[in-house]
Amino acid sequence: MGRHKGERAQTVLITGGAGFIGSNLAARLLAELPESRIVVFDNLSRRGSEHNVRWLRQLPGSDRLTVVQGDVRNAAEVNAAARDAVAIYHLAAQVAVTTSVSDPLQDFETNALGTFHVLEAARRSGRQPLVLFTSTNKVYGALESVDVMPDGSRYRAVREAFRGADERTPLDFHSPYGCSKGAADQYVRDYARIYDLPTVVFRMSCIAGPRQFGNEDQGWVAHFLYSVLARQQINIYGDGLQVRDILHVDDLLDAMMSVRKQVNTVAGEIYNVGGGMERAFSVAEILKKIEQRTAIACRCTHSAVRPGDQPLYISDCGKLMAATGWSPKRGIDRILEDIETFWRASKELISAAQHRAPVEDLVAEEVA
């Protein structure tokens, strides 16, 4: 049923909406919420963001898409973008541990202060919007409560009953990035308790899939696959036995949609979100899978382990599954297939993203 004349469409705001996850989410919302206006709010600083904006503007329903070039560090810009929002997906972030170590102030201002600005904008709007915040497994630090041992091509938990880290795992912020995201996710949780704002925190493991302009600081699965396909050398930090669980971006979007549909029962909660035990692989195992897939030998060098790097992290997603019925459906072969398909269709863009094009013509200066 269409809107009455003069009635405004409901607005959904995605901060960081021109990034990897954000652009995939915007496309999903355009398809699934035909009566809604989708606002992408992004400073367009990440390489590839301008290409994601162009892609979004070619999709069906893009007449309901508004792109705002803005920064979450600017409270006035956030307030303007959020004033009509009935839901806010807060994805904008500084995402690299290495960058947080070299520039902790910028990391804090983006992740902690930026999240505060989003929460305040949501509170002051008076609309009680859903605020879904994408946090990180780095809030658990080195996961020192889980003893590990090397076992062939990976680290394994000494405790045989280990099924992944759940939300009861002690917080142990390690690195400025862990501190800034951890402080932010505690603010998000507390705004539900103190101001009755319907918020949800996703503490995410490794997300991978199409539209990921991966590099060694973020998007490591895509970075490895792109590097092998382009016959470029890969630098491995540590011994390569480090284990992560990997989740297809479409499975993450399914989780986000399940939360949106059940906001009354999940508001105020924190959930670990990842691939779980069945989708956990070491760096060495992923490289082997890539070699088998591409029939190209990986060329690798090794450097020291980076600060705050966990030898093993696997998400226990049982809490989210029980609350919403969600579960991952796509495995590692599908993840690699979709990343490679994107690379083959977009390798010139991926290469060109290192030399950014002007972005002024891509955005509206303010929310219309």
| Catalytic sites, residue numbers | 177
**Exposure on the CB side of residue 184, measured as CA atoms within 13 A:** 37
Write a three-state SS string for the chain: CCCCCCCCCEEEEEECCCCHHHHHHHHHHHHHCCCEEEEEEECCCCCCHHHHHHHHCCCCCHHHEEEEECCCCCHHHHHHHHCCEEEEEECCCCCCHHHHHHCHHHHHHHHHHHHHHHHHHHHHHCCCCEEEEEEEHHHHCCCCCCCEEEECCEEEECCCCCCCECCCCCCCCCCHHHHHHHHHHHHHHHHHHHHCCCEEEEEECEEECCCCCCECCECHHHHHHHHHHCCCCEEEECCCCCEEEEEEHHHHHHHHHHHHHCHHHHCCEEEEECCCHHHEEEHHHHHHHHHHHHCCCCCEEEECCCCCCCCEECECCHHHHHHHCCCCCCCHHHHHHHHHHHHHHHHHHHHHCCCCCCCHHHCECCCC
Distances (CA, A) of 345 to 318, 338, 348: 36, 11, 8
Please answer whether residues 129 and 161 qualify as being in contact, where contact means their C-beta atoms are separated by less than 8 angstroms.
Answer: no
CA distance 116 to 360: 27
**Exposure on the CB side of residue 292, measured as CA atoms within 13 A:** 10
**Exposure on the CB side of residue 152, measured as CA atoms within 13 A:** 5
